[in-house]
Amino acid sequence: MINSDLNDLTEWISEKDPSNFCFLVGAGISIKSGLPTGVKFIASLINIISSSTEDNQKLHNIAGSNSTPEEIFSKVENHKFLRFESLMACIRRYIDDKSYRSLLDCFTCENPTKAHWLLASFLDKYSKQIVLTTNFDTLIEQARLSINPKINPAFISEDEHLSYEHGLFKLHGTVARWREGKIINLNELNSEDLPAASLDDLGRIRNSERRRTRFINSVSNASLLIIAGYSGSDVFDVIAWLKGTSPKAILWIEHEENEANNEILNGQDIINLKKRTLSIETLRTISEKIFRSGGDPKTQMKYVRVNTDIIWNKVLVKYSNIYLDNYPDTATYSWEDKLQNWGKKINKNQRNIITAASYFEAAQYEDTIRILKPLKSDPIRDSLLAQVLLIKEGKPWKKTLLIANDLVKNVESKFYNQGYLIKSKIFHRRRGKNNRELALSFIENVISHTSSIDRVEAFFIKAQLLRDAVKHTKAAEAALNAYKTSKVEGNLLFEASALHERAKNLDRTASKYNDIYEALENINEAIILRKQLVLPKDLINGLNVRCVMLQHLADFLFLEGNIEKAKEALKEAFLSAQEANKKAEVLQSEWEKDEINLNIG
């Protein structure tokens, strides 16, 4: 970066009130302390849990372990991506709580470096300063406590996000926290404060109104939002919230070691930029929103690709109350040794199950079956195998039914309800009134005496069965129950599916255009979730359903004489069908193309 560019950036920042900055920081700021990025951690984790060299290579490929930001964006766009949170969810399901906490202990580090000390000094100097972080580590807290041992160094819980307006807010939990001067370590933390490392955890964060409100208020009221060490991959919560804001000014710093690649772009440059990364796409959305609201992206936004140390050491330090040269620039930390020790306690069968579950999560069903079939029969293996056979096995699903019947033999087993859920799906697929009634009896059995996590799926299947029975009002009610329960559990997959199912049933019973609007709200939310979850077939289906609903809306509007709004609805229907068609072409699959109904009249 040439000096004139840096001077221009320094002058632009100097026009903002430093006492009202808001920082959003991610894993990148802790790399110099010896901690890994999410991508590096998942790569090392795959090396440990992979059951063979072949599986190691395949999992690395779908996880994007060795991909550039542009390649990762392409994988997300083309639905070929295993997220960090998805892999952690697979692991969490198949190991005990103590072992899971031991895995999270890899992020317990005691080496704050310059970035952490600088952020701590901002929080110490300015009473209204806000730092938002998705990091699990406690490096900023350690620096804060060294400056002032009497403070509460971080706010983590739901209540704290509601009660406090300024300070350090940990959006995704922590590996330790302090209360009344005493540290509570990882093994003693309550479940609410634990790192939100799995997909279900992120679902609960996404549905947290208190966290969302704190985030939006912090970003919107700041004189300048500074984003550093952050990839923009948190599409479920942070990025979704950020895209809904209109900051007064925003500076996104993307770390770049190679000086030849340094650049500074304003908001208008970003809109016109051809390069696509997660951070660029987020900024493009915000730029367009600022422009539409009458702002000026050219003066309100900066995207800086540079060695982040330059910004810390030469630009921001002047607003702090510390001398950065007094603090370490780098440190060493043996997180890989901790991970290796954790891996030694995971047996071969667990590795195989986690590998198979990872394939299942990434819709690689042949590989899932390949891993599971040679394994010794047990409820964990059988439950997962039944789920994938239900997708791959043709009628009448005899093998799947045999496994399900074995699962329901032991009423004390945690897989007892899974057995009944699988049986209900089989009889549902066999069609016919008698099979449907039998499936409903299995579902009622699950709903009447089970945990919320199984009730989510049970309510959803019940809604499907009732829709098949042309009982759309009751089906919409069951789908609503599935939606509410999935939000409590943080189950994003079923949250999207329940919204989709409810929308279809509301559409079937619509008697006026207001009913269609409610259905459209549901399907639009489902589409957003499916884009975030990278579910291509479900997304295409949702876009197709939306297209049909918009046609129905146009019919109602036309009958009421509102011709212009009817035309608008038909135009939206065409765009929805067009998007579905484009997604199908990207997937290069004739199945998806055949599923699209382009008949919009």
In a domain, 117, yes or no: yes
Whole-number Cα distances in Å, 455 to 357, 451, 490, 491, 494: 21, 6, 13, 11, 11
Residues 280 and 415 in one domain: no
Residue 535 has pLDDT above 60, yes or no: yes
Residues 312 and 381 in one domain: no
Residue at which a domain ends, from 264, 293, 326? 326
In a domain, 588, yes or no: no
Q: Can you give 481-512 as a three-state secondary structure string?
A: HHHHHHHHHCCHHHHHHHHHHHHHHHHHCCCC
Residues 295 and 420 in one domain: no
Distance CA 88, CA 98 (A): 15
Q: What is the DSSP letter of 19?
A: G
pLDDT tens-digit profile of 295-316? 777 788 899 999 999 999 989 9
Whole-number Cα distances in Å, 598 to 288, 438, 444, 472, 580: 30, 36, 38, 25, 9
Residues 168 and 306 in one domain: yes
Query: What is the residue-averaged pLDDT of the chain?
Result: 87
User: How many CB atoms are closer than 10 A to CB 127?
Assistant: 9
C-alpha of 429 from chain center: 31
**Over residues 399-410, mean pLDDT:** 87
What's residue 364's pLDDT? 86
pLDDT tens-digit profile of 178-237? 988 899 999 999 988 999 998 888 888 888 899 999 999 999 999 999 999 998 888 888
Residues 406 and 301 in one domain: no
Residues 320 and 380 in one domain: no
**Over residues 346-374, mean pLDDT:** 91
Name the least confident of 66-80, 116-130, 252-266, 522-536. Answer: 66-80
**Over residues 373-394, mean pLDDT:** 89
From the number of C-beta atoms within 10 Å of its C-beta (0-12, 13-18, 19+), residue 540 rates as buried
Instruction: Look up residue 522 and give its two tokens.
Output: 């549901």
In a domain, 600, yes or no: no
Per-residue confidence at 451, pLDDT binned at 50, 70, 90? low
Among residues 381, 378, 450, 392, which one has the least CA distance to residue 421? 450
Residue at which a domain ends, from 397, 415, 449? 449
In a domain, 390, yes or no: yes
Name the least confident of 67-71, 508-512, 569-573. Answer: 67-71
In a domain, 209, yes or no: yes
In a domain, 398, yes or no: yes
Strands (E), 171-223: 177-179, 182-184
Q: What share of the chain has pLDDT > 70, as a percent?
A: 93
In a domain, 8, yes or no: yes
Q: Are strands 263-266 and 301-306 parallel, antiparallel or unpaired?
A: antiparallel
What's residue 587's pLDDT? 62
From the number of C-beta atoms within 10 Å of its C-beta (0-12, 13-18, 19+), residue 439 rates as buried
Distance CA 406, CA 379 (A): 9
The edge-to-edge listing of strands for the beta sheet with 21-25 is 167-170, 130-133, 21-25, 224-228, 250-255, 301-306, 263-266
Which H/E stretch holds residue 339?
helix 335-344
Query: Is the Cβ–Cβ distance between 283 and 338 less than 8 Å?
Result: no
Q: Which residues fall within 8 angstroms of residue 366, CB to CB, at 6 or more apart?
A: 392
Q: Which of 279-283, 336-340, 510-514 has the highest mean pLDDT?
A: 336-340
Residue 10 has pLDDT above 50, yes or no: yes
Residue 589 has pLDDT above 60, yes or no: no
**Over residues 427-451, mean pLDDT:** 86
Q: What is the count of structural domains for the chain?
A: 2
Per-residue confidence at 467, pLDDT binned at 50, 70, 90? very high
Per-residue confidence at 582, pLDDT binned at 50, 70, 90? confident
Strands (E), 34-135: 130-133
Per-residue confidence at 167, pLDDT binned at 50, 70, 90? very high
The domain in which residue 171 lies consists of 3-35+109-326
What's residue 77's pLDDT? 53
What's residue 598's pLDDT? 39
Instruction: Look up residue 589 and give its two tokens.
Output: 């699959």
Residues 318 and 391 in one domain: no
Distance CA 465, CA 224 (A): 52
Residue 18 has pLDDT above 80, yes or no: yes
Distance CA 9, CA 3 (A): 10
Cβ density class 98-108: b for 16+ within 10 Å, e for less: eebbbbbbbbb
More confident residue, 270 or 322: 322
pLDDT tens-digit profile of 104-115? 999 999 999 999
What's residue 38's pLDDT? 84
What's residue 436's pLDDT? 92
Residues 211 and 309 in one domain: yes
Residue 411 has pLDDT above 80, yes or no: no
| DSSP class per residue in 314-333 | IIIGGGSSS-GGGS-S----
**Over residues 420-449, mean pLDDT:** 89
Residues 19 and 114 in one domain: yes
pLDDT tens-digit profile of 240-258? 899 888 888 999 999 988 8
* Predicted structure pTM score: 0.84
What's residue 465's pLDDT? 94
In a domain, 170, yes or no: yes
Distance CA 51, CA 353 (A): 9
Cβ density class 555-570: b for 16+ within 10 Å, e for less: bbbeeeeeeeebeebb
C-alpha of 175 from chain center: 20
User: Within 13 Å of residue 260, how many CA atoms lie on the same side as its CB?
Assistant: 0
Which H/E stretch holds residue 241?
helix 238-243
Question: Measured between alpha carbons, how far apart are the two ends of the chain, in Å?
Answer: 56
Q: Which of 203-207, 267-271, 365-369, 512-516 has the highest mean pLDDT?
A: 365-369
**Over residues 571-587, mean pLDDT:** 84
Residues 151 and 291 in one domain: yes
R_g of the chain computed on alpha carbons:
26
Sign of CA dihedral 488, 492, 495, 497: negative
Per-residue confidence at 74, pLDDT binned at 50, 70, 90? low
Residues 396 and 264 in one domain: no
pLDDT tens-digit profile of 496-524? 999 999 999 999 888 877 788 889 999 99
Residue 1 has pLDDT above 70, yes or no: no
Residues 10 and 115 in one domain: yes
Residue 176 has pLDDT above 60, yes or no: yes
